C-alpha cells in the first residue's frame, strides 16, 4: 500500500479556506472503521464552491474535499463490510465536517457506505454521483407525492444542462414523462433533446418579476436553481401539482407568495441528499439502475484526472459545465 498519496486538501490560510494538492499518508486519515481505496469521485456544484472558496463548505480545517466516491474496501473493523467489497458513498458531511473523496484512500463510517449497484461500474456510479442521485431523489419524491403521471401534463426541469438537471431530464423521459428543459444555454438544446427533453424554456423567462399566480403549465417540476426561478415555477404549477426543490444555483432566496400553495394546493417538496436516510438512498439508486439509460449517462459525462480539479471547480461555479464530470482518483 502506498506510503503517501495525493489529496485535495482545504487548509486555513490566515482565516480563509485555501484548496490545494497535498501528500498525506494513512496515518493522517480519521479513525473511522472502514478503509476504502477510492477509484472514482465526481465534481458537484458544492465541490466547486469548496475548492474555489466561493462558498464556506468545510466547517473544520484541514479538510479533504470531495462529496462522493466509489471504491473498494481495503480493511474493515465493522462486520458490515469486508476487504474487496465494492462500495459507494454520497454526502454524510464529507467535505464539510468529515474528510472526503479527493484522496486515494479514506477511512469512513460503515453506515455511510452502500453496496455498488450491480448495474453500474464505479465510473458510471460517479458519472451519476451526488447530482444524479439527488435528481433520482427528486423524481422519487414527485412520484411519492402521487399527482404526476406519465403521459399526463408537462414536467419542468430547471438548470437542465447541469448535473442534477441532465440526470432528471434523462430519468423522467425514460419513465415516459413529457419533459420541458429550462436552460440559459440554447447551444445545449440538441444535447438535452438527446437526453429526452421534448420542449425548451429560456431560463430568462423564469428570472423576471414573480406574479403570484400565473398560467398553469407544469404538472410537476425538478428545480436546482432556487430564488426567482423557483418562485416563478411554483406560480406556474397546475392545481394540485408538486415541485421538488434541491438547489440554489441561482440563489438561496425564495421571493414568492403563499398563493400557489393556498389557492392551488401546490406542494413544495424539499430534497436533501446529504443526510437522506438509507432506505431513500437505496430507492433512488434502484430508480437509477432501472430507468437511467447508460448510453444517455455516457453522453452527459466527461472524465478527468484529479489534477484538473482547480480548473473544473471554477467552471462549475460559473455555470459552464454541461452534464456531469467524473474524477479519476485511483
Ligand X SMILES: NC(=O)c1ccc[n+]([C@@H]2O[C@H](COP(=O)([O-])OP(=O)(O)OC[C@H]3O[C@@H](n4cnc5c(N)ncnc54)[C@H](OP(=O)(O)O)[C@@H]3O)[C@@H](O)[C@H]2O)c1
The single residue among 131, 169, 170, 230 that binds ligand X, judged by CB under 6 A, is 131
Return d(Cα 38, Cα 87) in angstroms, integer: 9
Number of Cβ within a 10 Å radius of residue 303: 15
Find the shortest distance in angstroms from Cβ 247 to ligand X.
2
Find the shortest distance in angstroms from Cβ 26 to ligand X.
30
Return d(Cα 260, Cα 291) in angstroms, integer: 31
Is position 271 an interface residue for ligand X (rule: CB under 6 A)?
yes
Instruction: List the grid coordinates of 312.
Output: 473544473
The single residue among 41, 134, 236, 301 that binds ligand X, judged by CB under 6 A, is 134
The single residue among 66, 196, 241, 247 that binds ligand X, judged by CB under 6 A, is 247
The single residue among 316, 326, 327, 329 that binds ligand X, judged by CB under 6 A, is 316
The single residue among 9, 122, 125, 164 that binds ligand X, judged by CB under 6 A, is 164
Q: Please choose, out of 118-126, 157-165, 255-263, 295-303, the segment that lies near ligand X by the rule CB under 6 A.
A: 157-165
Return d(Cα 160, Cα 179) in angstroms, integer: 10
The single residue among 106, 180, 224, 236 that binds ligand X, judged by CB under 6 A, is 224
Return d(Cα 188, Cα 184) in angstroms, integer: 9
The single residue among 53, 153, 184, 330 that binds ligand X, judged by CB under 6 A, is 184
Report the chain's terminal Cα–Cα distance, integer Å: 12
Identify which of residues 91 and 241 has a Cβ nearer to ligand X in the complex: 91
Return d(Cα 139, Cα 243) in angstroms, integer: 10
Return d(Cα 26, Cα 229) in angstroms, integer: 45
The single residue among 10, 94, 161, 221 that binds ligand X, judged by CB under 6 A, is 161
Find the shortest distance in angstroms from Cβ 35 to ligand X.
26
Q: Which residues pair with 7 in a beta bridge?
A: 22, 103
Cβ-closest position to ligand X: 162
Q: Please choose, out of 20-28, 96-104, 177-185, 261-269, the segment that lies near ligand X by the rule CB under 6 A.
A: 177-185
The single residue among 248, 269, 299, 303 that binds ligand X, judged by CB under 6 A, is 248
Residue 289 falls in which region: left (phi positive, over 0), alpha (psi -120 to 50) or beta: alpha
Identify which of residues 73 and 243 has a Cβ nearer to ligand X in the complex: 243
What are all long-range contacts of 206-209, with beta carbons under 8 Å and residues at least 24 apart?
Answer: 206/158, 206/182, 206/232, 206/233, 207/232, 207/250, 208/232
Identify which of residues 34 and 157 has a Cβ nearer to ligand X in the complex: 157
Residues 18 to 57: which contact ligand X by CB under 6 A?
Answer: 44-46
Burial 1-40 (b: 16+ CB within 10 A, else e): eeeebbbbbbeeeeeebebeebebebebbeebbbbbbbbb
Residues that contact ligand X, how many (by CB under 6 A): 32
Find the shortest distance in angstroms from Cβ 200 to ligand X.
10
Instruction: List the grid coordinates of 254.
Output: 425564495
Nearest C-alpha neighbor of 266 from the set 139, 136, 142, 138? 142
Contact footprint for ligand X (CB under 6 A): 44-46, 130-131, 134, 159-165, 183-185, 203, 224-225, 229, 246-250, 271-274, 316, 319, 321
Amino acid at each position: 500500500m502506498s506510503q503517501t498519496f495525493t489529496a485535495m486538501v482545504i487548509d486555513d490560510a490566515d482565516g480563509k479556506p485555501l484548496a490545494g494538492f497535498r501528500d498525506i499518508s494513512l496515518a493522517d486519515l480519521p479513525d473511522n472503521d472502514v478503509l476504502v481505496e477510492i477509484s472514482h469521485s465526481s465534481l458537484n456544484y458544492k465541490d466547486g464552491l469548496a475548492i474555489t472558496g466561493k462558498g464556506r463548505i468545510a466547517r473544520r480545517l484541514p479538510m479533504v474535499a470531495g462529496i462522493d466516491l466509489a471504491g473498494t474496501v481495503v480493511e474493515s473493523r465493522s462486520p458490515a463490510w469486508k476487504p474487496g467489497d465494492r462500495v459507494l458513498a454520497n454526502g454524510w458531511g464529507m467535505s464539510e465536517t468529515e474528510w472526503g473523496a479527493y484522496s486515494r484512500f479514506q477511512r469512513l463510517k460503515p453506515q455511510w457506505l452502500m453496496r455498488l449497484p450491480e448495474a453500474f461500474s464505479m465510473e458510471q456510479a460517479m458519472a451519476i454521483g451526488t447530482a444524479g442521485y439527488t435528481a433520482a431523489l427528486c423524481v422519487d419524491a414527485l412520484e411519492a407525492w402521487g399527482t404526476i403521471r406519465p403521459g399526463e401534463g408537462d414536467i419542468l426541469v430547471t438548470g437542465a444542462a447541469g448535473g442534477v438537471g441532465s440526470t432528471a431530464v434523462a430519468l423522467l423521459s425514460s419513465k415516459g414523462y413529457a419533459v420541458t428543459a429550462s436552460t440559459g444555454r440554447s447551444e445545449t438544446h440538441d444535447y438535452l433533446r438527446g437526453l429526452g427533453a421534448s420542449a425548451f424554456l429560456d431560463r430568462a423567462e423564469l428570472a423576471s418579476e414573480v406574479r403570484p399566480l400565473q398560467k398553469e403549465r407544469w404538472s410537476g417540476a425538478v428545480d436546482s436553481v432556487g430564488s426567482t426561478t423557483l418562485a416563478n415555477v411554483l406560480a406556474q404549477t397546475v392545481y394540485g401539482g408538486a415541485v421538488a426543490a434541491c438547489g440554489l444555483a441561482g440563489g438561496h432566496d425564495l421571493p414568492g407568495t403563499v398563493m400557489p400553495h393556498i389557492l392551488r394546493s401546490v406542494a413544495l417538496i424539499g430534497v436533501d441528499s446529504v443526510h437522506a436516510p438509507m432506505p431513500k438512498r437505496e430507492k433512488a439508486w434502484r430508480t437509477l439502475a432501472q430507468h437511467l439509460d447508460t448510453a444517455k449517462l455516457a453522453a452527459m459525462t466527461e472524465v478527468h484526472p484529479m489534477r484538473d480539479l482547480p480548473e473544473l471547480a471554477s467552471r462549475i461555479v460559473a455555470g459552464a459545465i454541461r452534464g456531469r464530470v467524473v474524477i479519476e482518483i485511483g
